[in-house]
């Protein structure tokens, strides 16, 4: 007689909302969570490739009404979501306008508002809309994606090679500030929803390899005990874990996956 024992990491029958699911990591999460049995509702401003098991919702996470409409549509189709991975975020890309990468003293207010609006308020709105539905239903798991740059300061010496080339370049303040705000959003909600079975955790990630400048890579890699940036697929397992029953006693925590960057 064979006895089937379901894996505690299994996500069959779970609907998971992945914000930023059209991005580099969001795409990796979507594929991996689907492979673990979940159905995925992607929320992104950018176009989403739909397939069996993946529904795309073109919404801006700062638009609460659009999020509510998306929730209504996914509930009609699949029922209330069990999981929410808050991965949508804005950073100042390395080629953004010079004032965004200039000195702290003149960092533009409008850029600060925009990045805080998406990374903090947008994440909060997704927690209100999707997390609120999970709490009403009696269970779920939220993973807020943060960054080593929200846990420790960006190390401006990593960008010295740009200044040596004559550019004015400092890693700006807004992204770092916005990502650190997620730690207490997570703790607040873990406490607030603990009694209703919704677990809420922060997942702090190190940098992902994406064809960065070799001068940057050399400096960054020298700061990481594992000696390299992450591959985009190396965070999938921990996201699956946090959404699964294997993490049934994990809430309010900050899980750090950074190759050891913040251990030094
Ligand atoms: N890539 C890294 O090195 C790294 C390191 C640490 C943490 N992170 C975090 O991981 C998460 C995913 O990063 P990524 O590298 O995949 O970024 P990405 O830029 O490739 O993807 C982000 C996605 O979010 C979407 N988005 C942005 N603003 C939005 C809005 N207002 N409404 C809806 N969608 C919006 C974008 O369209 C994009 O598809 C982010 O939270 C990021 O801060 C990334």
**Residue-wise pLDDT tens digits, 57-109:** 999 999 999 999 999 999 999 999 999 999 999 998 767 788 899 999 999 99
Determine contact, residues 15/39, Cβ cutoff 8 Å: yes
* Closest-CA residue to 128 (of 76, 229, 200): 200
Ligand 1 pocket member 7 (CB < 6 A)? no
Q: How many whole angstroms separate alpha carbon 59 and alpha carbon 129?
A: 13
Distance 90 CA to ligand 1 centre (A): 6
* Mean of pLDDT values over 245-257: 98
* Mean of pLDDT values over 187-211: 98
* Residues paired with residue 85 on neighbouring β-strands, in sequence order: 18, 143
* Closest-CA residue to 164 (of 219, 106, 92, 223): 219
Q: Is residue 4 over pLDDT 60?
A: no
Could you tell me the pTM of the whole model? 0.97
Q: Is residue 170 over pLDDT 90?
A: yes
Confidence of residue 212 (pLDDT cuts 50, 70, 90): very high
Backbone angles phi, psi at 81, to 5 degrees: -65, 155
Which has the higher per-residue pLDDT, 175 or 5?
Answer: 175
Confidence of residue 35 (pLDDT cuts 50, 70, 90): very high
Confidence of residue 5 (pLDDT cuts 50, 70, 90): low
Q: Whose CA is nearest to atom 30 of ligand 1?
A: 60
Portion of the chain with pLDDT greater than 90, in percent: 93
Q: Is residue 3 over pLDDT 60?
A: no
Q: For residue 70, what are its two tokens?
A: 């998306």
Ligand 1 pocket member 140 (CB < 6 A)? no
Q: Is residue 2 over pLDDT 70?
A: no
Residues with a catalytic annotation lie at 175
Ligand 1 pocket member 46 (CB < 6 A)? yes
The pairing of strands 54-58 and 254-257 is unpaired
Q: Is residue 41 over pLDDT 60?
A: yes
Q: Whose CA is nearest to atom 23 of ligand 1?
A: 20
What pLDDT shows up at residue 1? 47
Determine contact, residues 168/99, Cβ cutoff 8 Å: no
* Mean of pLDDT values over 31-48: 97
């Amino acid at each position: 007689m064979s006895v089937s024992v379901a894996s505690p990491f299994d996500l069959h029958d779970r609907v998971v909302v992945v914000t930023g699911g059209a991005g580099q990591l969001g795409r990796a999460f979507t594929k991996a969570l689907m492979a673990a049995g979940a159905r995925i509702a992607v929320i992104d401003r950018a176009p989403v490739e739909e397939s069996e098991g993946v529904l795309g919702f073109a919404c801006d996470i700062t638009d609460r009404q659009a999020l509510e409409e998306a929730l209504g549509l996914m509930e009609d189709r699949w029922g209330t979501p069990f999981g929410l991975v808050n991965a949508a975020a804005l950073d100042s890309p390395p080629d953004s306008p010079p004032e965004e990468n200039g000195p702290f003293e003149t960092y533009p207010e409008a850029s600060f508002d925009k990045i805080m609006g998406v990374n903090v308020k947008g994440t909060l709105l997704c927690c209100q809309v999707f997390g609120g539905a999970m709490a009403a239903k009696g269970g779920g798991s939220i993973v807020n994606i943060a960054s080593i740059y929200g846990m420790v300061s960006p190390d401006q010496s990593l960008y010295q090679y740009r200044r040596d080339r004559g550019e004015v370049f400092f890693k700006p303040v807004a992204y770092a500030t916005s990502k650190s705000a997620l730690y207490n959003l997570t703790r607040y909600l873990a406490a607030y929803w603990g009694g209703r079975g919704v677990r809420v955790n922060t997942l702090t990630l190190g940098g992902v390899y994406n064809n960065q400048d070799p001068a940057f890579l050399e400096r960054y890699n020298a700061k990481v005990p594992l000696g390299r940036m992450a591959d985009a697929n190396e965070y999938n397992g921990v996201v699956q874990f946090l959404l699964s029953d294997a993490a049934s006693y994990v809430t309010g925590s900050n899980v750090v996956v950074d190759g050891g960057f913040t251990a030094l």
